[in-house]
Amino acid sequence: MDIEQLRIYEINDLYQVSNVEVGQHFYWQIGNFQVHAQVLLTSWIVISLLPALPIAATKNLQAIPTGSQNLIEYILEFIRDLTRTQVGEEGYRPRVPFVGTMFSFIFVSNWSGALFPWRLVQLPHGELAAPTNDINTTVALALLTSVAHSYAGLNKKGFSYFGKYIQPTPVLLPINILEDFTKPLSLSFRLFGNILADELVVAVPVSLVPLIVPVPMMLLGLFTSAIQALIFATLAAAYIGESMEGHH
């Protein structure tokens, strides 16, 4: 066997490895692109649920809130206080919608996977799962967070924002640049790994014993799902606050 044939075999082996997938996917063919349809389907369900409670709660506003209106106001105050704590008194208000959107989408997505075993829904090909169960979703959310904190820094400091990369010494330039790449990686893989593990833990007992036995697992899944949404939103707000205050 000559060297050229050996190289061809190595390339073929690498190609086979690149085709390995975790789980089964339901694809839509759009032009020359394949789209994970199960992610879009569950994301649309979550997005349609997000405005449902606020719309219902604000139909009959009262001076003294009760019921769903009280819940909505509590959630808004919680997100506002979270953003103010991480970003600071100055400049936190414009960041509340972004942090609130991140928290709400991730929270509802995570709970949809904890409350409803998507994998029991049969598709012609592939399987359903919570949107945050797919690495593409979590990476997209993490990249949006990176754009948000970079924009916040540039908006406040202008081009002097880039001076953080040579602080406290220019020797740390490569490390400071690498830090901007590790932030979205850690955000995305932390959320993806925890939600994937949680859905697997719930799906196995549900498929074996559908009643009663999976309930403790589902309750634990609700708790961990809420914590993951809180962690992501807190870190996103902290990164925004850090970019506005300077290098720490």
Running DSSP on this structure, what letter comes out for residue 33? E
Question: What pLDDT sits at residue 126?
Answer: 65
Question: What pLDDT sits at residue 119?
Answer: 63
Question: What pLDDT sits at residue 117?
Answer: 64
The CA–CA distances, whole Å, from 28 to 23, 130, 228 equal 16, 18, 30
CA distance 109 to 207: 21
Q: Ramachandran region of residue 167, left (φ > 0), alpha (ψ -120 to 50) or beta?
A: beta
Question: What pLDDT sits at residue 20?
Answer: 39
Tell me the two tokens of residue 148. Answer: 């948000």
State the number of CA atoms in the 13 A half-sphere of 149 facing the CB: 27
CA distance 102 to 131: 13
Question: What pLDDT sits at residue 88?
Answer: 85
Amino acid at 92: Y
Residue 80: partners with Cβ closer than 8 Å, 6 or more residues away: 96
pLDDT tens, N- to C-terminus, the chain (248 residues): 454 444 444 445 434 433 434 456 667 777 777 777 778 888 888 998 888 888 887 787 777 777 778 888 888 999 999 999 999 888 888 999 999 999 999 999 988 877 776 666 666 666 777 888 888 899 999 999 999 988 988 888 888 878 787 877 788 788 878 888 888 888 898 888 888 777 777 666 666 666 665 677 777 778 888 899 999 999 999 999 888 875 44
